[in-house]
Amino acid sequence: SVLKKLSLTDFHLQDFPPKDSPYHNYDEATAALRLIQASAPDIVSMFSIGKSVQGRELWAVRFNTDAKNLDPSQKPGIVFMGAHHAREHLSTEVPLLLAQWLVENRHREDVLKLLNSRDITIIPMVNPDGVEYDIATGKYRWQRKNMRPNPNGTYGVDLNRNYGYQWGTGGSSKNQNSDVYMGPSPFSEPESQAVRNFCETHKNLTILLSYHTFSELILYPWGHTYSSIPNTEDLAAFTAMAKKMAGMTGYKPEQSSDLYIASGDTTDWAYGALGIFAFTFELTPSSILKGGFYPGTDVIQSTFQKNIPPALYLIDLADNPRRAISTAF
Residues noted as catalytic: 282
Q: Are 140 and 17 in contact (CB under 8 A)?
A: yes
Cβ neighbour number for residue 258 with a 10 Å cutoff: 13
Residue 35 to residue 127: CA distance in whole angstroms? 21
CA distances from 21 to 86, 170, 189, 225, 269 (A): 16, 37, 29, 39, 34
- How do strand 252-255 and strand 44-51 relate by DSSP bridges? unpaired
Q: Are 280 and 267 in contact (CB under 8 A)?
A: yes
Residue 125 to residue 23: CA distance in whole angstroms? 12
Q: Are 6 and 30 in contact (CB under 8 A)?
A: no
- How do strand 57-63 and strand 119-123 relate by DSSP bridges? antiparallel
Q: Are 90 and 82 in contact (CB under 8 A)?
A: no
Q: Are 129 and 235 in contact (CB under 8 A)?
A: no
CA distances from 305 to 80, 95, 128, 165 (A): 16, 11, 24, 33
Residue 95 to residue 81: CA distance in whole angstroms? 7
- How do strand 217-220 and strand 252-255 relate by DSSP bridges? parallel
Strand partners, 255: 220
